[in-house]
Chain A
Amino acid sequence: EAGVAQSPRYKIIEKRQSVAFWCNPISGHATLYWYQQILGQGPKLLIQFQNNGVVDDSQLPKDRFSAERLKGVDSTLKIQPAKLEDSAVYLCASRSSGTLAKNIQYFGAGTRLSVL
């Protein structure tokens, strides 16, 4: 099966600019996650969607970050305005709701963001 697709792979912006990331999950996967991975750390959950509804966004800095999954398939994550500390890899992951593979997350390759 095709994997989780993310774009762009790399993005360099100046602080206070805006940026958007796109994710296309594995076909049929109802659950989609956005993670922030700062260099040297594990992935930190930003937001989880179930279809087009938000399950958990408690760690999303809502003053500058937003995410949507309007049709329950693709998702976009936006940062506006960006700060230096937002430099990280942004990972998207999806998960099937099928019984056998229920807890397996499949990750995309990520978008590496550098804020100058």
Chain B
Amino acid sequence: GENVEQHPSTLSVQEGDSAVIKCTYSDSASNYFPWYKQELGKRPQLIIDIRSNVGEKKDQRIAVTLNKTAKHFSLHITETQPEDSAVYFCAASKTGGSYIPTFGRGTSLIVHP
């Protein structure tokens, strides 16, 4: 089955800096990669996703890049703000049929004001 590795487990940055979280996956058939943000005590919420036919996707301060050959994808947050502090999870899955994403272990992002 699919295996998703996520690094780092903890990331501490100063407000205004950029943050990068990286994930690798094992199943070359995976073609959909969502990212979730989970604030303390709250539900995971989808913040951005990317499909394998696209190399990069951007939404305001958040961007995701995908390298299918190397089987890794990354989340980039620019101009970080204290409200970006949360745990971020990457996931990988195949679309079509039963959709069962495999999640990474999460990255705790701390943005210091």
Contact = CB atoms under 8 A, between A and B. Distances in A.
B106 to A, nearest CB: 5
Interface stretch (A17-25, A78-86, A101-109): A101-109
Interface in A57-107: 91, 95, 102-105, 107
A48 B93 contact: no
B100 A56 contact: yes
A95 B45 contact: no
Given A40-B106, A41-B106, A42-B106, A31 B99 contact: yes
A109 B42 CA distance: 6
A48 B93 CA distance: 14
A44 interface: yes
B100 A42 contact: no
B7 interface: no
B93 A103 contact: yes
A28 interface: no
B46 interface: yes
Q: Which of A48, A102, A105 has the most CB of B within 10 A?
A: A105
Nearest to B1: A58
A103 B101 CA distance: 9
Interface in A5-53: 31, 40-45, 48, 50
A16 to B, nearest CB: 28
B44 A43 contact: yes
Nearest to B94: A103
A20 B82 CA distance: 37
Given A42-B89, A107-B45, A102 B106 contact: no
B100 A91 contact: no
A103 B43 contact: no
Given A4-B43, A91-B43, 8 more contacts: A3-B43, A31-B99, A42-B4, A42-B104, A45-B100, A102-B95, A103-B99, A104-B46
Query: What 5 pairs between A and B have smallest CB-CB spacing?
Result: A42-B103, A107-B43, A55-B98, A107-B44, A109-B43
28 contacts: A3-B43, A4-B43, A31-B99, A40-B9, A40-B105, A40-B106, A41-B105, A41-B106, A42-B89, A42-B91, A42-B104, A42-B105, A43-B44, A43-B103, A44-B103, A45-B100, A48-B100, A55-B98, A91-B43, A95-B99, A102-B95, A102-B99, A103-B34, A103-B95, A104-B49, A105-B46, A108-B43, A109-B42
